[in-house]
Amino acid sequence: MDQKPIPPHVSPDGEDLRLPPGSALDREATRRTRRSFIGLGLAGLGGVLGWRYLLNRPQIEGVPAPFRQVLNANGRLTQAYLRETRLAPEFAKSQGVAKVRTNGSAGLTSALDPAAWRMVVQPYGGGKAQEFTLADIQALPRVEMTTELKCIEGWSIVVNWAGARFSDFLAKYPLASRSGQPVKDIANPPADLAPYVGITTPDEKYYVGLDMPTVLHPQTLLCYEINGQPLSLAHGAPLRLVTPLKYGIKHLKRIGTIAFADTKPADYWAEQGYDWYASH
Ligand SMILES: Nc1nc2c(c(=O)[nH]1)N[C@H]1C(S)=C(S)[C@@H](COP(=O)(O)O)O[C@H]1N2
Ligand SMILES: [Mo]
């Protein structure tokens, strides 16, 4: 494979997708951060009584309502950033760790026959499910990037990944819009594009939900290599998701099925109370 890798901040037409610093959203974020510090100070005044009050509030999606509201506000803010195509920092390939730590094996315990494996995609708005082989994904432009994998448990590592952009997959296969339009230009997607994508392992024991801006983000890869080698089973062979603006929990290993949705799809860790967006 001597195809030259395209850096993820460059679009397929060679356009540099990075944003100039100091945008309106940067300013909004700073203002909000200042406001949340004031909010935290007031919360401190409330002390233990306030804490008891908080924990006794009605729960929304398994989290006391006031916490859930903060999580949702953070989710909205990070969504706003994504619309401005913020990019995760990239590193030199040599800065990647030689031995990549593994974490999480939900959905990986059933037997896998790599030759029989297919990625099964249910088109948005109905129709027959379509199957893709690893060769189909490898036929898309190969993109290589060295980015940080941040686990929500508090550790992070720099990893070299290679795969196909999810957006290139949706540009070639018109499965994400009701009218069957492909995504030709990330900035001007079809009007009837699905707002959400749900991905599960073949046994459906691990599953994540993603919003469409994340799916179309230039650093969101259908990934088949780590450090220049095919993925091992523990890292999600034959194909996994990598999306470095999100915590590791969203980087589903061993993709089985993909489906488009009008509402937020089920998400393994969101069901345990983590922020559904899981941006950082
Ligand atoms: N199928 C599946 N994918 C998963 C998980 C899992 O339990 N099952 N854990 C996630 C978590 S919490 C992290 S941090 C990353 C770790 O990826 P790695 O094992 O390749 O380092 O995988 C993610 N993808
Ligand atoms: Mo994680």
**Residue 84 Cα, ligand 2 centroid: separation in angstroms?**
26
Contacts for 208 with CB less than 8 Å, ≥ 6 apart: 198, 199, 241, 249, 250, 252, 265, 267, 268
Q: How far apart are CA 251 and CA 132, in angstroms?
A: 19
pLDDT of 173-206, one tens digit each?
A: 999 999 999 999 998 999 999 999 999 999 999 9
The reported pLDDT for the residue numbered 52 is 63
Q: How far apart are CA 4 and CA 162, in angstroms?
A: 12
196-200/207-211 β-pairing: antiparallel
- Please tell me the CATH code under which domain 90-101+116-272 is placed: 3.90.420.10
Q: What is the mean pLDDT of residues 90-99?
A: 96
Q: What is the mean pLDDT of residues 89-101?
A: 96
Most informative mutation of 119, 249, 250, 254 for ligand 1 (most atoms within 8 A of CB): 249
* 8 A C-beta contact, residue 19 and residue 85: yes
DSSP 8-state assignment for residue 218 = T
Instruction: Give nearest CA residue, ligand 1 atom 20.
Output: 235
Ligand nearest to the CA of 234: 1
Q: Say yes or no to pLDDT of 61 above 70.
A: no
Q: Give the SS3 label for residue 148.
A: strand
Which range, of 71-80, 151-160, 175-184, 191-200, averages the lowest pLDDT?
71-80
Q: How far apart are CA 247 and CA 8, in angstroms?
A: 18
Q: How far apart are CA 256 and CA 131, in angstroms?
A: 10
The ligand 1 atom at the shortest distance from the C-alpha of residue 254 is 1
The reported pLDDT for the residue numbered 1 is 47
Q: Say yes or no to pLDDT of 33 above 50.
A: yes
User: What is the Cα gyration radius of the chain?
Assistant: 20
Give residue ranges with CB within 6 A of ligand 1. 100-108, 149, 151, 201, 206, 235, 248-249, 251-254
Strands (E) in the chain, as ranges, are 59-60, 63-64, 119-122, 130-132, 143-150, 156-165, 196-200, 207-211, 221-226, 229-230, 240-242, 257-261
Kindly list the domain boundaries of the chain, sorted by start residue.
90-101+116-272
pLDDT of 243-260, one tens digit each?
A: 999 999 999 999 999 999
The reported pLDDT for the residue numbered 68 is 74
Looking at residue 177, its amino acid is S
Stated length of the chain: 280
Percent of the chain with pLDDT strictly greater than 70: 77
